[in-house]
Structure 1
């Protein structure tokens, strides 16, 4: 009818008002989660980004520090690995050699890992054309090793690993809540969506940088978090890595009686074995094949009956490998291991990953694991690690530098936003306001349960925070005031 209007009754108005209040309460609940998660995550985000940049430029830093020890003049023919190995043995007569890294670069030296009498490990660099031992590099003295140790454990072992796992898990909560806060809901939020307002005050500028940068690279941030979490001690090793470990003996033969795993081949905190093999048992050589007996008068077993390392090197060449590492057997039942994988930086394409174990007496191939043997999760992990480490190309490396800088900007702008909006001289932290609304608590409970199931350490941390709030904060007027809006 002409001129007629739809009238909104009291019930409809009340219902609309209630929906609006629920949306507001939900928004502030998410903001509070985002705020508290950010308090924990920001220091770790800064640390992981800064150490990540150092690790991205490991090759350039090493070349600068040790150029005289790793650069050689290319010649017509290289000497055999056994000749080079003998030169290292003469230079370090009372030490054991655990590994040789054969480079594909004709202007670079080969590296032999030498375990000294005091238990420390060094690289002896050898000119492959003359077998001259050029010098030694302390594996624990590299910038990469220091950055990697901080990146993985904060230099405090398992407790550092746990803290980083909690921060990465809460980082996913931070990411999801941040996207919810970033997406436009009304005119006010639409005004800054995908825009940087330089003339609207410092807090608005910080908010636009923080929200838009975080929102646009959120997928990248998630990939970094998940690929990093795969190395952690609980979510990674207990929940994901264990279920995607290649079943070496169940596939290739009898279950082993010994317990050495592939991660025992790693040197220190360096990841030299593929992710899906780290928790798998290493096969064993059969000493009876070589009629080998250990000399009880020696501390180290006699390797004279083992096949020559040149045979192993030839095997690697026959496999089509150009840059690879050979792990030498360290006991009667030890094996030769040829490894070329993206985790260690031997290859840049994870589809070329290869790990081969060879009986030290017979030369028989015991296990040959390639990309085709990886599970779907293991393939995703291998590809993710290559991207994470910036190994695929120069573009990949520089994009990762950009992302690390972006994460730093996101962290700093988040801290600046808090600093600007905090109540000045009121002895308050500046926590976002709490709006009580029926039913909204269910969102928080569901979030807690979901996080606890997917990321146990993060869930445990949130439960601990809630207990502290109930048992300590709520009983202290001073703490309640400090944590009030």
Structure 2
């Protein structure tokens, strides 16, 4: 009986060690792909959190002016812009409740370049006009989301987010107290020097990163092409799509096709009467039967009410309040607000800033730990049992194909390469562990 128990205990110990090594290997291999992207996304995302503050500094000469009487009608300001650079499409007008703020207009110029202009509301002077994609924060956003490579680049960013989730999950398993290492050891400040300190610092920072970065990774998925596109399809099929009319959809039309268009000021007055929170983003009608669309551009999602106003009669044709959205649509929107550091004010901004700094440190410390432990002339893949294509692996791949499609495809691709090439060349295999290990 004692012999059986001893054998069982030994077997459990070996299987536990094998599992740890397998997790370590997956963590290592995921990191090979993820860490460069994590460094890029942490830096760009961390900077983008402070877009309002950065733009207030960059564009201080065009955001505010001296208040000199009554503001001119928005129509006169748009006419000045048309004379200044030409307008082939008027995309939107931002109106603030601060009388010192300039009017910001988004439009297509005569070359059909999407641009932003800032207009003095008291003189109709166009203070500046800049192509949208030439603004610093827009370029930073595009680099963050697509590496400036368009839809091709978004796939790499999305794939890195998927594998980053794997890296985080395997990382927290590696951090979890086991053996002689208790919870106190796992949560104490890094000890020692050299590689030992870097390894402990990597584990210690990873503990906080799991809590702070995982929500950012998950809330960023709705923006992606494949995962986000799939979510959008599911929302449409299940009646969980956002009710927002911001991008067209089923927005009602004006009731007549002739007559005089009401003044922009009347649309703004309707919004104020409806108690809609400033600032306002307003889109004038383009075609004869189109209507005015206006929304609150408040960072508080629950304030982001939209209205549609008949261009001829001034009748309110539709109103959409954020709270009316289906549960999934609201959850996705609030998740995006969390991702942008806006959901719960300065604390959200501070936590996301810490998450960005942790992302940078994890990327750097992960590289240093690998560099210090790798054998000379070797990649230093952790020793682990081979991952055979068992029933469990097949189920895992299918689940990943459903939950994280790009990752599932990349995993299949990696397994095929491993079977056809890597095992024959001895790449990414590591030394075979023994029972003594």
Give the alignment's TM-score, normalised by structure 2.
0.89
1:402 to 333, 354, 374: 354
Shift of 1:105: 2.9
Counterpart contact for 2:381–2:430, Cα < 8 Å: yes
Question: Which residue does 2:320 correspond to in 1?
Answer: 369
Question: Which residue does 2:90 correspond to in 1?
Answer: 97
Question: Which residue does 1:332 correspond to in 2?
Answer: 288
Shift of 1:49: 0.8
2:201 to 195, 199, 209: 209
Cα deviations across residues 392-443 of structure 1 (Å, max 9, x unaligned)?
Answer: 4334323322220111111211111111111113xx2111112369x99565
RMSD, matched Cα: 2.8
Take 2:90 and 2:427, find their aligned partners in 1: how far apart are those partners? Answer: 63
Take 1:357 and 1:246, find their aligned partners in 2: how far apart are those partners? Answer: 26
Secondary structure (helix, strand or coil) at the match of 2:99 reads coil
Question: Which residue does 2:430 correspond to in 1?
Answer: 484
Take 1:17 and 1:315, find their aligned partners in 2: how far apart are those partners? Answer: 76
Question: Which residue does 1:349 correspond to in 2?
Answer: 300
Question: Which residue does 1:307 correspond to in 2?
Answer: 262
Cα distance, 1:350–1:246 mapped onto 2, change above 3 Å: farther
Question: Which residue does 1:165 correspond to in 2?
Answer: 158
Question: Which residue does 1:116 correspond to in 2?
Answer: 109
Take 1:23 and 1:164, find their aligned partners in 2: how far apart are those partners? Answer: 34
Cα distance, 1:368–1:156 mapped onto 2, change above 3 Å: same
Q: Does structure 1 residue 318 correspond to structure 2 residue 273? A: yes
Q: Does structure 1 residue 226 correspond to structure 2 residue 182? A: no
Take 2:419 and 2:386, find their aligned partners in 1: how far apart are those partners? Answer: 17
Secondary structure (helix, strand or coil) at the match of 1:19 reads helix
Shift of 1:191: 7.0
Take 2:169 and 2:244, find their aligned partners in 1: how far apart are those partners? Answer: 28
Take 2:392 and 2:16, find their aligned partners in 1: how far apart are those partners? Answer: 12
Take 2:427 and 2:278, find their aligned partners in 1: how far apart are those partners? Answer: 65
Take 1:112 and 1:471, find their aligned partners in 2: how far apart are those partners? Answer: 57
Secondary structure (helix, strand or coil) at the match of 1:72 reads coil
Q: Does structure 1 residue 434 correspond to structure 2 residue 384? A: yes
Cα distance, 1:13–1:280 mapped onto 2, change above 3 Å: farther
Shift of 1:12: 1.0
9-18 vs 354-363, which deviates more?
A: 354-363
Secondary structure (helix, strand or coil) at the match of 2:287 reads coil
Counterpart contact for 1:352–1:371, Cα < 8 Å: yes
Take 1:44 and 1:313, find their aligned partners in 2: how far apart are those partners? Answer: 44
Secondary structure (helix, strand or coil) at the match of 1:111 reads strand
Take 1:463 and 1:280, find their aligned partners in 2: how far apart are those partners? Answer: 39
Secondary structure (helix, strand or coil) at the match of 1:187 reads coil
Cα deviations across residues 119-151 of structure 1 (Å, max 9, x unaligned)?
Answer: 112222112233332222332221110111011
Q: Does structure 1 residue 389 correspond to structure 2 residue 340? A: yes
Secondary structure (helix, strand or coil) at the match of 1:453 reads helix
Take 1:246 and 1:360, find their aligned partners in 2: how far apart are those partners? Answer: 33
Q: Please show how residues 120-269 of structure 1 align to structure 2 within 5 Å.
A: 120-188=113-181, 192-199=185-192, 201-238=193-230, 240-244=231-235
2:6 to 13, 25, 45: 13
Give the alignment's TM-score, normalised by structure 1.
0.81
Question: Which residue does 1:283 correspond to in 2?
Answer: 251
Take 1:9 and 1:106, find their aligned partners in 2: how far apart are those partners? Answer: 85
1:453 to 395, 402, 410: 402
Cα deviations across residues 268-304 of structure 1 (Å, max 9, x unaligned)?
Answer: xxxxxx8966777142525xx4344xxxxxxxxxxx7
The answer for unaligned runs of 5 or more in structure 2 is 432-437
Secondary structure (helix, strand or coil) at the match of 1:74 reads coil
Take 1:203 and 1:440, find their aligned partners in 2: how far apart are those partners? Answer: 35
Take 2:413 and 2:389, find their aligned partners in 1: how far apart are those partners? Answer: 21
Shift of 1:466: 0.5
Cα distance, 1:246–1:103 mapped onto 2, change above 3 Å: farther
Shift of 1:382: 2.4
Counterpart contact for 1:275–1:381, Cα < 8 Å: no
Take 1:275 and 1:21, find their aligned partners in 2: how far apart are those partners? Answer: 55
Shift of 1:51: 0.7
Shift of 1:215: 1.6
